[in-house]
Amino acid sequence: STLFSFSTLFRSQGITQGNIGSAFYANIYLTSVDIKFGSSNEWRVELHRYVDDMIFVIPNREDMDIIENTVKDELQELELNLNENKTERIYEVSSFLEQSDQDQRLDELSDRFDCVVNPLWIMNSKHRAIFRSAFYKDELWWHHIHHYQQCLREIKIYINDTDLSHKIYKYLYNDKSRERDLAKQKYVFGLEGELKYTQPPDDESFQAIRQWSASFITSNNVWSKNRDNLRKDLVDLFEDSWQALCELNGSNPNQTRQLERDIRFALYRLSILGLEDILNTLMEILRQAFWIIRNPINVLENLAKQGYLVEIRSLLTHYQNRDQPVEYLKAVTIRAMRFLPKIDAQEWELIVEFATSLDSSVSIAEKLMATETWLYLGHKYNNFKQNDHIKAVKNALDSEPPERLQKNYLLILGQFEPKAVEQFQVNRNDPMLVSAKNLALEGNPSAIFDLPEPKIIRQKYYSGQAPNDSDQEAY
């Protein structure tokens, strides 16, 4: 048998990559392809498809050309094209098995990663009791989340507050999930039981958190060694894959895809374990081959959260100076600034400049990200406010911006001069703008950022009761 691997490419309009409904609609849209190569097809071909990735197992290699042409015809009927750069013929089973061995290596690294991070979300019984007691109290819940988040940063574990909240909730009431993942930890590392001393100190000072970190590492030295070994292996995978990719220079499409996948695999996990050991290479990729990273918004956010202000600024400058425009990358780099542990007046001026620019060289996407960043940070950096900033917002409102920008400008103005909002008219048939203006007139629009998630999210997804296992698995 011969293996034939295809990947379709949507040429025109479609659903955004990563959208929760993409796979569902792809299955509907590609039904005719599934039928054409169903169990009774004339070539006795086996089709294995996941969304737009297809593998054909062909008993007779002489049929390969006609099958490829048939696939192209079926796709053209759907106004789709075959991605030639991602199409591969595999004639020897050993070649396929070699790829499977590479997949197994990543699976093993993935298992080790799970066994390093999951015990941190499981915590221990005393620590879980603290979160259970705060479950119905939003402000107290997020206080505990943020305190634990700061402690995790001290042991070089980086995770945003909403993700940490979700992960803790996953295990909080679910005995079976805890037992299952602790059993996996024993199988992978030979390590039994929950971590010791996870609950943060009552004192929230920097010195107290440093002392907690030292006690935690001492009490969980085997976990710490496993974490360090895993980080080293992921760093090696990232660095070696990038070096090999540079040497390959696109000469082997299949190997190129494999190396790019390895880079993304390692990067995702090192975003939680710390980016410091791959920082230089990561910056090189973000400048020279940013298309490798399918979701740069998360990478830039993680860079900012880990305090790499200089790197964020240098990337923004680089993207601004490129001959070919990269509006999206500029926009998400501006967005990343909201996640820096601290910004100074220079960064604030940059945010204001992008947010209120009337220059056509600044895209709508950049302005949207800058205004949203301003809204996100405004209540934290009120001391940076200047009269000319407010004047610039009013000028921007007078320029008749698109509705989403108009909404953001109204909310920004409401932070500083609620009475001035009244002079700006909005479309009364647009409920978003009407609500934004009313909120701005109240004079405290930044209150919507006081908690990481709106209350409705907690009401819908955090029942507050001890859910059964099926509920937890669905979550």
pLDDT given for residue 22 in this prediction:
73
pLDDT given for residue 98 in this prediction:
58
Ramachandran assignment for 51, one of left (phi > 0), alpha (psi -120 to 50 degrees), beta (any other): left
pLDDT given for residue 397 in this prediction:
94
pLDDT given for residue 89 in this prediction:
79
Distances (CA, A) of 312 to 267, 286, 338: 17, 11, 11
Buried b (16+ CB within 10 A) or exposed e, 379-405: eebeebeeeebbebbbebbeeebeebb
pLDDT given for residue 399 in this prediction:
93
pLDDT given for residue 324 in this prediction:
74
pLDDT given for residue 100 in this prediction:
57
**What contacts 272, CB < 8 A, 6 or more positions away?**
117, 157, 158, 159
pLDDT given for residue 53 in this prediction:
84
Distance CA 443, CA 413 (A): 9
Distance CA 128, CA 183 (A): 19
- Residue 267's nearest CA partner among 293, 228, 246, 245 is 293
pLDDT given for residue 268 in this prediction:
94
Most confident of the ranges 75-84, 193-202, 320-329: 193-202
pLDDT given for residue 466 in this prediction:
46
Q: Using 50, 70 and 90 to split pLDDT, how confident is the model at 300? A: very high
Q: Which residues pair with 3 in a beta bridge?
A: 57, 90
Give the pLDDT mean for 300-310: 94
User: What is the tens place of the pLDDT at every residue in 68-106?
Assistant: 999 999 999 998 888 877 787 777 666 665 555 567 889
Average pLDDT, the chain: 86
Q: Which residue has the tokens 């009791």?
A: 129
Distances (CA, A) of 64 to 19, 34, 104, 297, 316: 33, 17, 28, 40, 48
Tally of helices (H runs) and strands (E runs) in the chain: 22, 5
**Contact at 8 Å (CB) between 217 and 155?**
yes
pLDDT given for residue 86 in this prediction:
74
Q: Whole-prediction pTM value?
A: 0.76
- Residue 237's nearest CA partner among 211, 201, 198, 263 is 263
User: What is the tens place of the pLDDT at every residue in 391-430?
Assistant: 999 999 999 999 999 999 999 998 888 899 999 999 989 9
pLDDT over 70 (residue 297): yes
pLDDT over 60 (residue 17): no
pLDDT given for residue 470 in this prediction:
39
**Contact at 8 Å (CB) between 170 and 162?**
no
Q: Using 50, 70 and 90 to split pLDDT, how confident is the model at 257? A: confident
pLDDT given for residue 416 in this prediction:
84
More confident residue, 129 or 295: 129
User: What is the tens place of the pLDDT at every residue in 28-70?
Assistant: 989 999 999 998 899 999 999 888 888 899 988 889 899 999 9
